[in-house]
Structure 1
Amino acid sequence: MLAGGVQDDNVETPFGSVNVDLKHTYGAFLKPKMDLGQNFELFARLGWAKTKIDAGGGSDSESDFAYGVGLQYSFSPKAYVTGGYMNLYDKDGVQVDGWNIGVGYKF
């Protein structure tokens, strides 16, 4: 999995407001799934992700256990669209999570 941030955030600290921006994250996941019929699948993601965050002019890159759930719809045997929720990082009071959408093609 490879992802980038589409929205930054402002975090209040004792020293004032700090702008936080997700630069990128990548990871490897197991993806158990359940067929719901009518070309739909319910899935979970369990794995490890490395995330780079820029905050207040500096940046940091950390790894953490990551997880999520989602739904996939197949247009054909090879093309699909997917959406769900992922938690990519949660340490030391910093959490990177959110909703995602994607398209895929099976080779």
Structure 2
Amino acid sequence: MKDKGGVNMKKAISIIALGTLLATNSLLAGGNIVAPAAEVVAVPVQTDTDPFYIGIGVIWAGVSRDCFERGCTETIRLKDSTWGGIVRVGYDFNQYIGIEGRALKATIDSDWAETTHYGIFLKPMMPVGEQVNIYGLLGWGHTKVVTDSTSLQDEFTHNGFSYGIGLEYDLSSKKDDYDSYKKNPDDVPAFDRPFDGQGDQEVGWGLWIDYQNLMNNEGPEKYKTNIVSFGVTYDF
């Protein structure tokens, strides 16, 4: 009677030997063993924002004052409106608060008043959606009104509190703002807060319109001066 265990053992050894021989031949023939490609994981890169912006625009200035001497036969309220230009320079700390300096001069189409103003302001902000921003202005300003007419020449200067409110519109989309931070197409910029494209994260051109009160019943002649401005901004 044949030893079945011995026969099975011989078959197993033969199969192992044959497999080893085939594998060796494959390697000697130049066969390559290819490992599965590893998935490339993008690593977020910490990104620094540039919080500065500049703006240039047109202003309408309204001026009024009492007149009771030097050419005025009775106490009346003189009023004038002029046009001019404005420059804004600002720094956004985040999407809710910033600081802004502005300078303006209004002399165009003047009947008797020319207005000059510059100041520094705290700028609280409230984003509305991705592209609209409502802001306030609270700060200190230097304002000078020169009265120059055939019957009245005068100059009044006021240093003090000034305030305003305005609206900004971002012409770039949130995606455009995000992509502007990429040096390479596959970059994943990382920020100190979830990206919203607002405030210090905003990049590119925008529009604005605002109202600002420069003076309110100042001096013996009770000068009142306010402006409406509109123009374009660029966020770096």
* TM-score bin, normalised by smaller chain: 0.7 to 0.9
Q: 1:89 aligns with which of 200, 204, 215?
A: 215
* 2:232 matched residue in structure 1: 103
Q: Does 1:31 align with 2:123?
A: yes
* Inter-CA distance 74–7: structure 2 relative to 1 (3 Å threshold): same
Query: Would you tell me which structure has more helix in proportion to its own residues?
Result: 2
Which structure 1 residue ranges, 5 or more long, are not aligned? none
Higher relative contact order (CA 8 A, sep 6+): 2
Q: How does 1:5-20 map to 2 (within 5 A)?
A: 6=60, 11=65, 13-15=67-69, 16=72, 20=112
Bigger Rg, which one: 2
Superposed structure 1 runs of 4+ greater than 6 Å apart: 1-5
Which structure 2 residue ranges, 5 or more long, are not aligned? 1-54, 79-110, 173-202
Q: TM-score, structure 1 length as denominator? A: 0.79
Alpha-carbon distance in structure 2 between the residues aligned to 1:3 and 1:103: 6
* Inter-CA distance 80–29: structure 2 relative to 1 (3 Å threshold): same
**Counterpart AA for 1:65:** F
Q: What is the CA-CA distance between 1:94 and the residue it aligns to?
A: 1.0
**How many residues are paired up?**
107
* Inter-CA distance 73–27: structure 2 relative to 1 (3 Å threshold): same
Q: 1:67 aligns with which of 154, 157, 163?
A: 163
Q: What percentage of residue pairs aligned between the two structures are identical?
A: 25
* Inter-CA distance 2–22: structure 2 relative to 1 (3 Å threshold): farther
Query: Would you tell me which structure has more strand in proportion to its own residues?
Result: 1
